[in-house]
C-alpha cells in the first residue's frame, strides 16, 4: 500500500499568513488563511515592514488552527513545506524560520517551495486527474507568466511581463479611479455593470509571436483618459472605464495563452494566481478554449489567491522528486520559476 504522507505547509510571502495540512499532496485536510488586507487598505497597498510584523504575530495561531482543523498533532507530520521565494524578504523569513524550527525540532524533512510554482499546483488540488503537460497562465499581483509545465518540477517559461504584473495593473488603475485596495475584485465587480467597448484602450502585443506581456502602456492610457476627462470637466463613468480596462487586459492574456498552447501542441490550459479569479478572464478563456478544442481548468477562487494548501501540494511533488533542504535554506525574494536549491 502507498505510504501516507502528512504535510504541514506554510505561506507568508506577501500579506497572507497561511498554514495547511495535506495528505499525499492533493487531499487538503485544512487550509487556514489569515489575510492582512484590512491592515494595508489604508496605505493603498502592502507595506512590507507592517506585513512582516503581522506575520510574526499570526503564524503560531494559524498553525495551531490548521492542525486542529485537520485533527492532527505535530507528531503526525511527516514533512514541512514552506515558501522561500519570490516575495517580500522580511515576510518570507517569518514562514521560513518557523518552518526550519519545526523541521529541526520534529526531525522531519524541510522542502522549500517556489511561490509561483505553488500557484500552478492549486490546480492539482482541485482537479484530481490533472497531469502535466499543460500550459499555465499565472497571473497575480506580482507576476504574469506563461509557463509550459512539461512534467512535475519541469517548467519552460514561454513569456512573462516586461513591466507591471496583471494584478498590479488592476490595483493601480483601481486606485486611480478611487476604488480602493485590492483593486482586482472591485474592477471585476464594477465591470459587470459597464460597457467593455466604451473606451478603446490599447492592447499591447509586443513583437510578432512574442509571448511576453506589457501592461504599463495600458495603465498610462487609463491615467491619461482620467486626466483628460478631468481637465475638460467631463465626468467619467467608472463602470465603463473598469470594463474597458479589464477587457484590454484579458484580450491579450487570452490571445497569448491560446497561442502558447497551439505552439506547444498541448491539449490542456490551466490558469492560476489571484487574477485567475477574474470572471471576465474565466468567461473569455472558456469561450476561446471551447472554440479551439482545449480543455480548461482553474482552481476555486479560494485557491487562486495566496494560500498554504497550494504550497503543500508543490512540496509533496518536489519531495517525491528528491528535493529537501537543509537549515541553510534562505529566503530568495526574486526566485525564478524552475530555480532549485541543492538537494541534500
Footprint of Zn ion (CB under 5 A) = 140, 306
Binding mask 304-333 for ligand KG4 (x = CB under 6 A): -xx---------------------------
> Could you tell me whether strands 268-272 and 295-297 are parallel, antiparallel, or unpaired per DSSP bridges?
parallel
Rounded Cα distance between 298 and 127, Å, is 8
Rounded Cα distance between 174 and 223, Å, is 10
Looking at beta carbons only, is 30 or 114 nearer to ligand KG4? 114
One of 112, 132, 194, 274 touching ligand KG4 (CB under 6 A): 274
Q: Supply 16's cell numbers.
A: 497572507
Is 95 a residue that touches ligand KG4 (CB under 6 A)? no
Rounded Cα distance between 205 and 252, Å, is 7
- Long-range pairs for 258-262: beta carbons < 8 A, 24 or more residues apart: 258/288, 258/289, 258/292, 258/294, 259/209, 259/211, 260/135, 260/146, 260/148, 260/158, 260/159, 260/211, 261/135, 261/292, 261/294, 262/292
- Coil, strand, or helix at residue 213? strand
Rounded Cα distance between 108 and 86, Å, is 24
Which of these segments, 41-49, 103-111, 134-142, 198-206, binds ligand KG4 (CB under 6 A)? 134-142
Binding residues for substrate: 138-142, 171, 184, 188, 278
Looking at beta carbons only, is 10 or 77 nearer to Zn ion? 10
Peptide bond into 13 cis (omega under 30): no
One of 25, 90, 109, 185 touching ligand KG4 (CB under 6 A): 185
One of 6, 7, 10, 14 touching ligand KG4 (CB under 6 A): 14
Q: Please, what is the minimum distance in Å from the beta carbon of residue 190 to ligand KG4?
A: 11
Q: Supply 116's cell numbers.
A: 509561483
Looking at beta carbons only, is 245 or 319 nearer to ligand KG4? 245
Rounded Cα distance between 211 and 239, Å, is 30
Q: What share of the chain is helix, strand, coil (3-state, %, to 5)?
A: 45, 20, 35
Looking at beta carbons only, is 95 or 273 nearer to ligand KG4? 273
Is 155 a residue that touches ligand KG4 (CB under 6 A)? no
Please tell me the count of residues contacting ligand KG4 according to CB under 6 A: 19
One of 18, 278, 289, 324 touching ligand KG4 (CB under 6 A): 278
Looking at beta carbons only, is 18 or 324 nearer to ligand KG4? 18
Rounded Cα distance between 279 and 131, Å, is 25
Binding residues: 115, 119, 138-142, 171, 184, 188, 278, 306
Looking at beta carbons only, is 90 or 185 nearer to ligand KG4? 185
Binding mask 31-70 for ligand KG4 (x = CB under 6 A): ----------------------------------------
b/e map 78-115, b = 16+ CB within 10 Å: ebbbbbbbbbbbbbbbbbbebbbebbeebebbbbbbbb
Binding residues for Fe cation: 115, 119, 306
> Which positions touch ligand KG4 (CB under 6 A)?
14, 140-142, 167, 170-171, 182-185, 188, 273-275, 277-278, 305-306
Amino acid at each position: 500500500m502507498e505510504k501516507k504522507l502528512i504535510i504541514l505547509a506554510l505561506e507568508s510571502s506577501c500579506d497572507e499568513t497561511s498554514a495547511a495540512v495535506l495528505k499525499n499532496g492533493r487531499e487538503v485536510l485544512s487550509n487556514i488563511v489569515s489575510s492582512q488586507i484590512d491592515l494595508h487598505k489604508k496605505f493603498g497597498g502592502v507595506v512590507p515592514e507592517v506585513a512582516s510584523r503581522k506575520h510574526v504575530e499570526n503564524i503560531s495561531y494559524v498553525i495551531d488552527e490548521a492542525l486542529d482543523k485537520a485533527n492532527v498533532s505535530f507528531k503526525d507530520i511527516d514533512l514541512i513545506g514552506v515558501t522561500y521565494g519570490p516575495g517580500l524578504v522580511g515576510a518570507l523569513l517569518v514562514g521560513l524560520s518557523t518552518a526550519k524550527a519545526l523541521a529541526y525540532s520534529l526531525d522531519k524533512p524541510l522542502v522549500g517551495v517556489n511561490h509561483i510554482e505553488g500557484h500552478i499546483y492549486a490546480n492539482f488540488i482541485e482537479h484530481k486527474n490533472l497531469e502535466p503537460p499543460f500550459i499555465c497562465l499565472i497571473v497575480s499581483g506580482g507576476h504574469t507568466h506563461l509557463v509550459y509545465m512539461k512534467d512535475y518540477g519541469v517548467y519552460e517559461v514561454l513569456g512573462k511581463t516586461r513591466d507591471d504584473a496583471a494584478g498590479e495593473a488592476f490595483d493601480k488603475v483601481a486606485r486611480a479611479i478611487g476604488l480602493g485596495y485590492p483593486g482586482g475584485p472591485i474592477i471585476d465587480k464594477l465591470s459587470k455593470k459597464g460597457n467593455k467597448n466604451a473606451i478603446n484602450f490599447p492592447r499591447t502585443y509586443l513583437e510578432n509571436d512574442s509571448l511576453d506581456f506589457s501592461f504599463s502602456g495600458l495603465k498610462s492610457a487609463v491615467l491619461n483618459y482620467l486626466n483628460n476627462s478631468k481637465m475638460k470637466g467631463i465626468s467619467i463613468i467608472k463602470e465603463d472605464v473598469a470594463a474597458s480596462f479589464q477587457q484590454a487586459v484579458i484580450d491579450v492574456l487570452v490571445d497569448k495563452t491560446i497561442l502558447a498552447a497551439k505552439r506547444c501542441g498541448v491539449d490542456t490550459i490551466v490558469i492560476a494566481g489571484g487574477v485567475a479569479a477574474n470572471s471576465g478572464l474565466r468567461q473569455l478563456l472558456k469561450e476561446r478554449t471551447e472554440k479551439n478544442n482545449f480543455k480548461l481548468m482553474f482552481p476555486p477562487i479560494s485557491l487562486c489567491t495566496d494560500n498554504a494548501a497550494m504550497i503543500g501540494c508543490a512540496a509533496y511533488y518536489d519531495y517525491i522528486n528528491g528535493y529537501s533542504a537543509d537549515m541553510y535554506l534562505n529566503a530568495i525574494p526574486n526566485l525564478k520559476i524552475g530555480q532549485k536549491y541543492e538537494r541534500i
